[in-house]
Every structure is written in C-alpha cells, then in structure tokens.
C-alpha cells in the first residue's frame, strides 16, 4: 500500500470531534487496519486495547562520558546539600557510584 492509499484509508478514523481517548483509540484502530496489521476493526480494537510494554531505555556509547560527568556534578551538589559531613569525599563517591549505576546503566 502506497502512502496516498494509506492516507485515504486513515481519513475516516481521523475525522470528527471526539474526546481525546476515543480519538487516540480510533487512530490506533485505523493504523492497524490500514497497515494491514489487523484483518478488521474488531481485531484492531483488541490489539489497541492491550497494555503497552514500556520501551527499553537506550544508551549511546559516546554518551557514557557525558553521563559520568553529569552524575559527578550532581553527586557533588547532593553531598554539598547534606548538613552533616558523614565522611566528606567518601560519601560523595558513594553517592556518585549509586547514581552512576541507577542513571547510566542501560
């Protein structure tokens, strides 16, 4: 199916004034039917009503250095905001390590 045919197919699913949730469901149904991922509207509706799995977080190889720098600066800031000095640099390093694991591991 070429783009013009897909657009013509989608047109009825995108027209009309409806609540947001209905508009989103109609668009999803139309996209499944028009892209032939579903044989009919009922099958498309069932697909569209399935809960969505969260997308995995992607990390870029080149971004590791930036992430490390960002976490170091953030750890320094957090350590500076804590009133009690619970071991100075070692606390900052512990915070940095935990944040690096949480924020930068993919």
Per-residue pLDDT in tens (0 to 9) along the chain, 106 residues: 789 999 999 999 998 888 999 999 999 999 999 999 999 999 999 999 998 877 776 666 555 556 667 777 777 776 666 655 555 667 677 777 776 666 665 4
Residues with Cβ within 8 Å of residue 47, at least 6 apart in sequence: 28, 32, 37, 38
Host domain of residue 39: 3-49
- Per-residue model confidence (pLDDT) at position 102: 67
- Per-residue model confidence (pLDDT) at position 54: 75
Residue whose tokens read 């350590």 = 79
Of 62, 55, 42, nearest to 104 by C-alpha is: 62
- Per-residue model confidence (pLDDT) at position 60: 60
**How many domains does the structure of the chain reveal?**
2
The answer on 75 and 44 residing in a single domain is no
The Cα–Cα gap between 71 and 82 comes to 17
In a domain, 82, yes or no: yes
In a domain, 55, yes or no: no
- Per-residue model confidence (pLDDT) at position 48: 94
In a domain, 65, yes or no: yes
In a domain, 31, yes or no: yes
- Per-residue model confidence (pLDDT) at position 82: 61
Which of the 8 DSSP states describes residue 38? S
The answer on 33 and 11 residing in a single domain is yes
């Amino acid at each position: 199916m070429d783009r013009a045919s897909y657009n013509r197919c989608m047109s009825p699913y995108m027209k009309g004034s409806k609540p947001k949730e209905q508009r989103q469901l109609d668009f999803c149904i139309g996209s499944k039917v028009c892209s032939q991922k579903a044989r009919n509207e009922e099958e498309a509706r069932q697909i569209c009503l399935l809960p969505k799995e969260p997308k995995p977080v992607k990390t870029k190889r080149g971004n590791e250095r930036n992430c490390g720098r960002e976490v170091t600066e953030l750890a320094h800031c957090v350590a500076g905001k804590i009133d009690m000095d619970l071991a100075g640099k070692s606390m900052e390093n512990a915070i940095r390590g935990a944040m690096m694991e949480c924020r930068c591991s993919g």
